[in-house]
Amino acid sequence: CSMAGEEDFFLEEKRFKQHCEEFVKHSQQIGDGWEWRTSKDLGDGYLSKTHFQVRNRHIPPDLKEKTNDNIEQTLLAHVEESLDDSQVAAVCTTDEVIRYEYHVLYSSSYQVPVLYFRACFLDGRPLTLEEIWRSVHACYQDRLQEGPWDTITQQEHPILGQPFFVLHPCRTKEFVSAVVTGPWKHNRHKNYIILWLSTVGPVVGLSLPLSYAKVAPEQNS
Amino acid sequence: MTDDKDVLRDVWFGRIPTCFTLYQDEITEREAEPYYLLLPRISYLTLVTDKVKKHFQKVMRQEEVSEIWFEYEGTPLKWHYPIGLLFDLHASNTALPWSITVHFKNFPEKDLLHCHSKDVIEAHFMACIKEADALKHKSQVINEMQKKDHKQLWMGLQNDKFEQFWAINRKLMEYPAEDNGFRYIPFRIYQATTERPFIQKLFRPIASGGQLHTLGDLLKDVCPSAIAPEDGEQKTQVMIHGIEPMLETPIQWLSEHMSYPDNFLHISIIPRPTD
């Protein structure tokens, strides 16, 4: 991963916290479920969101011949987190419900936000790395195949100490620079978290409602 | 006066005598004898325990064997931490050999990363090296290297080849003539008592006035509880590779000479033994 022109896309920790604050405020307004968690010992923290996805396992036999990934993508649907127990139970009989937990942490080494996530079935069984790779959105499968070990791997969460999957920061710069037009300094007024998360989130099944695009940051130094 | 290069060799060739015992609840067809091995401090458990696995699998039925994992006194051992770090953190003031329990069932999903192949270890190792270089050189040195150089770092570690490893690693230890050290020091501080697995922050090896920052400066800045108050007694030990370096040691020197092969200084803060 290249840091050339890193002045362009890096984010200071203070600014990271400010943008996260703005982000959570908007999330609360639209009920999108994000919250900020502060660590007790050092005062740093991270964004966190949990949601459920339904995966339909009943693939008609003739479709099974084609690549699993495309079929799974078309059958993937987001469900509201407010599914009550009976609704979840009803879904379970023919489908798989997967609980995703997403965390956004700050990497001081790369000076960018990093997306951590974990996923498990309702019985608690965690998804394997292979299952995660298979569930990466069809658009990104080529990129993933080129370098799976550089893209999504299992790592230790730096604050909780538990295994999570991580979207590598190196790839972040690639994804973000493809989306931002012109040098970052022209985009300073935008919220980095919204821009970054709306770009990398979909790679791992996380999307942001369009209303985030309306968020206008306060004019900071 | 010992040459600085000797320190590199001493670090590389450090070994910990270890006794591996199969967990008593594992189902075996015959009694499982313990297995003794000298573990390289600088390597990773899953990289150097193929013989351990083979030894215990011989007395077990195929269906009873799934992913191997290790535990010390009830604590699952994180294979992605270097062996020397695990020992210093959990067992440094106990009698040798280090007694590790081997498991083949009930993998602790909430505590340990999976390690299904050597590829996983290589990916982890290279990710650490890249992160270290992001801190030291804004990734310029690691990115200028070819894929075969990256491979050589990994092969050097895997095959315990000091010269092969350092032929490439020395480039990661250089810095521009006009600077007096790296941009930031790659380090992690570990304490077994905290929920947070380690502390890692940006820390410059050179002060604005040009003086070299010391290990003591680093600890004061990042983990002040590790340093005793002037008049108080020192309740903790600051350990790297099984020794307590003097707090006056320049952190730049420590980074160049006592980093692990992943280019990080892994520092343990452990309770000082009271006897």
Residue A116 domain flag: yes
Residue A24 domain flag: yes
Q: Do B196 and A39 touch (CB under 8 A)?
A: yes
CA distance B165 to B170: 9
Residues B241-252 have pLDDT tens digits of 999 999 999 999
Residue A71 has pLDDT above 60, yes or no: no
* Over residues B217-233, mean pLDDT: 81
* Over residues A86-94, mean pLDDT: 51
ipTM score of complex? 0.92
Residues B162 and B218 in one domain: no
Residues B181 and B228 in one domain: yes
Sign of CA dihedral A106, A109, A111, A112: negative
Q: What would the two tokens of residue A90 be?
A: 């009803």
Residue A217 domain flag: no
Asked whether the beta carbons of A100 and A119 are under 8 A apart, the reply is yes
Residue B110 domain flag: no
CATH code, B132:
1.10.246.190
Residues B170 and B210 in one domain: no
Q: Is A154 on the interface with B (CB under 8 A)?
A: yes
Percent of chain A with pLDDT over 70: 64
Q: Do B134 and A109 touch (CB under 8 A)?
A: yes
CA distance A81 to A103: 16
CATH code, A128:
3.30.1460
Q: Is B236 helix (H, G, I), strand (E, B) or coil?
A: strand
Residue B182 domain flag: yes
Per DSSP, helices labelled H in chain B are: 4-12, 45-48, 50-57, 83-91, 118-137, 140-144, 147-158, 162-172, 215-222, 251-257
* Over residues A191-199, mean pLDDT: 87
B144 vs B192, more confident: B144
Could you tell me the residue range of the domain that residue B212 belongs to? 176-274
* CA separation, residue B57 to residues A188, B14, B101, B234 (Å): 58, 28, 14, 46
With cut-offs at 50, 70 and 90, classify the pLDDT of residue A64: very low
Contacts with A150 from chain B: Cβ below 8 Å: 123
Residues B196 and B130 in one domain: no
Asked whether the beta carbons of B42 and B12 are under 8 A apart, the reply is yes
pLDDT of residue B169: 98
* Over residues A38-58, mean pLDDT: 84
Residue A211 domain flag: no
* Over residues A87-102, mean pLDDT: 69
Residue A72 has pLDDT above 80, yes or no: no
Residues B270 and B184 in one domain: yes
CA distance B256 to B259: 6
A88 vs B169, more confident: B169
Residues B63 and B78 in one domain: yes
Residue B198 has pLDDT above 90, yes or no: yes
pLDDT of residue A82: 47
Asked whether the beta carbons of A215 and A191 are under 8 A apart, the reply is yes
Q: Do B196 and A42 touch (CB under 8 A)?
A: yes
Q: Do A161 and B195 touch (CB under 8 A)?
A: yes
Q: Is A170 on the interface with B (CB under 8 A)?
A: yes
pLDDT of residue A63: 38
Residue B45 domain flag: yes
Total domain count, chain A: 1
CATH code, B83:
3.10.20.620
Burial class of residue B211, CB neighbours in 10 A (0-12, 13-18, 19+): exposed
pLDDT of residue A199: 83
Residues B87 and B66 in one domain: yes
Window from A183-192, A203-212, B194-203 with minimum mean pLDDT: A183-192
A170 is catalytic: yes
Residue A76 domain flag: no
Q: Is B202 on the interface with A (CB under 8 A)?
A: yes
Contacts with A1 from chain B: Cβ below 8 Å: 130, 134, 139, 143
Residues B35 and B21 in one domain: yes
Residue A119 has pLDDT above 90, yes or no: yes
Q: Do B194 and A41 touch (CB under 8 A)?
A: yes
Total domain count, chain B: 3
Q: Which residues pair with B190 in a beta bridge?
A: B268
Q: Is A217 on the interface with B (CB under 8 A)?
A: no
Q: Which residue has the tokens 């030990």?
A: B237
Residue B261 domain flag: yes
Residue A189 has pLDDT above 80, yes or no: no
Residue A88 has pLDDT above 70, yes or no: no
Residue B131 domain flag: yes
Q: Is A8 on the interface with B (CB under 8 A)?
A: no
CA-based radius of gyration for chain B: 20
Residue B19 domain flag: yes
The single residue of A1, A20, A120, A170 carrying the catalytic annotation is A170
Residue A68 domain flag: no
Residue B6 domain flag: no
pTM (2 decimals)?
Answer: 0.87
Asked whether the beta carbons of A195 and A186 are under 8 A apart, the reply is no
CATH code, B217:
3.10.20.90
Sign of CA dihedral B206, B211, B212, B213: negative
Could you list the beta-strand ranges (E) of A110-182: 112-121, 152-156, 163-167
Residues B91 and B129 in one domain: no
Q: Do B123 and A149 touch (CB under 8 A)?
A: yes
Residues A74-84 have pLDDT tens digits of 344 444 344 45
How far does Cα A64 stand from its chain's mean position?
Answer: 28
Residues B19 and B96 in one domain: yes
* Over residues B147-154, mean pLDDT: 97
CA distance A129 to A164: 10
Percent of chain B with pLDDT over 90: 84
Q: Is A161 on the interface with B (CB under 8 A)?
A: yes
Residues B225 and B248 in one domain: yes
Residue A70 domain flag: no
Residues A125-160 have pLDDT tens digits of 899 888 888 887 777 777 777 766 668 889 999 999
Residue B132 domain flag: yes
Residue A7 domain flag: no
In a mutational test of the A interface, the residue from B85, B106, B130, B145 whose CB has the highest number of chain A CBs within 10 Å is B130
Residues B60 and B95 in one domain: yes
- Range picked from A49-63, A89-103, B253-267 for highest mean pLDDT: B253-267
pLDDT of residue A73: 42
Asked whether the beta carbons of A16 and A113 are under 8 A apart, the reply is yes
Could you tell me the residue range of the domain that residue A23 belongs to? 13-55+92-204
